């Protein structure tokens, strides 16, 4: 793995931090371009992005720490975000709350902006998961399949695996969310109602993430009743919420004729 992407003297650019920054940058540019086409001032997207970045970073880090407590032994470990370790749902939930507050004050439709940003969310997740793979975090369970990857012992995956091959669930997630971003961009061209693309993101991401997490390693403390990981329970909730939102919006459109 390559947790450090570039090292010049004391200057280190970590792979995870670089990919995280790239995911935000590319996602924001894509959303701003889509906003202009939907009649929304791109400046609003740039303003919103500040809130989303802060909320996503804090929320994703906090939830990851809560579900991987044994990996953190000091305050430095907690704040060393550049070394990897973040959970999508923590960042998504806090960013969603921040977006609702900002858009209400800006008098912009939440569903309209959510549709604009949906492909960016999927694309950003795809890029970030590459950073996870390079850092050796968010790894899978042991496997004997040809897809298995042996991680070096100086990263979280290698430390836990002790030389065993693991499912590269980071790459599974990256490929899946990249395909999801493309699917959302295509589906958005014929969106039947506002909120369609966002609800589709929720349903498809929730279903895909639940499936990928079957092959991912989770500590016993991050599992709940029935053996489900916390993130799998969140996946079910997200997919269900997306399906309900889709049904409500479609019914509302039908009622309007």
Question: Mind listing the pLDDT tens digit for each residue in 36-92?
Answer: 999 999 999 999 999 999 998 888 877 777 766 666 565 555 555 555 556 788 888
Q: What is the pLDDT of residue 83?
A: 55
The answer to whether 128 touches 86, Cβ cutoff 8 Å, is: yes
Higher pLDDT, 75 or 133: 133
On average, the pLDDT of the chain sits at 90
Question: What value, to the nearest 5°, has the Cα angle with vertex 14 and ends 165 and 99?
Answer: 100
Task: Name the pTM for this structure.
Answer: 0.89
Please give the share of the chain, as a percent, with pLDDT higher than 70.
Answer: 91
Q: For residue 248, name the pLDDT band (cuts at 50, 70, 90).
A: very high
Element (H, E) at 12: strand 11-14
Distances 180 to 2, 40, 122, 123, 185 between C-alpha atoms, Å: 26, 24, 6, 8, 9
Reduced to 3 states (helix: H, G, I; strand: E, B; else coil), residue 179 is: helix
Q: What is the pLDDT of residue 61?
A: 74
Question: What value, to the nearest 5°, has the Cα angle with vertex 61 and ends 48 and 65?
Answer: 160
The answer on pLDDT for 196 being more than 70 is yes
């Amino acid at each position: 793995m390559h947790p450090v992407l570039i090292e010049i003297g004391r200057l280190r650019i970590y792979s995870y931090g670089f990919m995280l920054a790239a995911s935000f940058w590319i996602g924001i540019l894509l959303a701003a371009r889509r906003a202009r086409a939907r009649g929304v001032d791109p400046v609003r997207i740039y303003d919103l992005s500040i809130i989303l970045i802060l909320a996503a970073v804090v929320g994703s880090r906090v939830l990851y720490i809560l579900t991987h407590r044994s990996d953190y032994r000091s305050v430095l470990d907690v704040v060393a975000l550049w070394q990897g370790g973040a959970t999508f749902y923590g960042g998504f939930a806090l960013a969603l709350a921040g977006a609702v507050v900002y858009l209400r004050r800006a008098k912009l439709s939440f569903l309209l902006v959510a549709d604009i940003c949906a492909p960016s969310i999927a694309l950003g997740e795809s890029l970030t998961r590459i950073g996870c793979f390079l850092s050796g975090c968010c790894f899978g369970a042991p496997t004997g399949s040809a897809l298995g990857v042996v991680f070096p012992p100086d990263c979280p995956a290698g430390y836990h695996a002790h030389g065993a091959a693991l499912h590269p669930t980071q790459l599974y997630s990256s490929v899946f969310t990249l395909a999801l971003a493309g699917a959302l961009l295509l589906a958005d061209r014929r969106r039947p109602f506002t909120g369609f693309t966002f609800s589709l993101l929720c349903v498809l991401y929730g279903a895909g993430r639940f499936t990928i997490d079957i092959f991912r390693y989770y500590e016993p403390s991050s599992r709940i009743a029935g053996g489900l990981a916390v993130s799998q329970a969140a996946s079910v909730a997200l997919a269900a919420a997306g399906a309900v939102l889709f049904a409500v919006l479609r019914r509302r459109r039908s009622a309007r004729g």
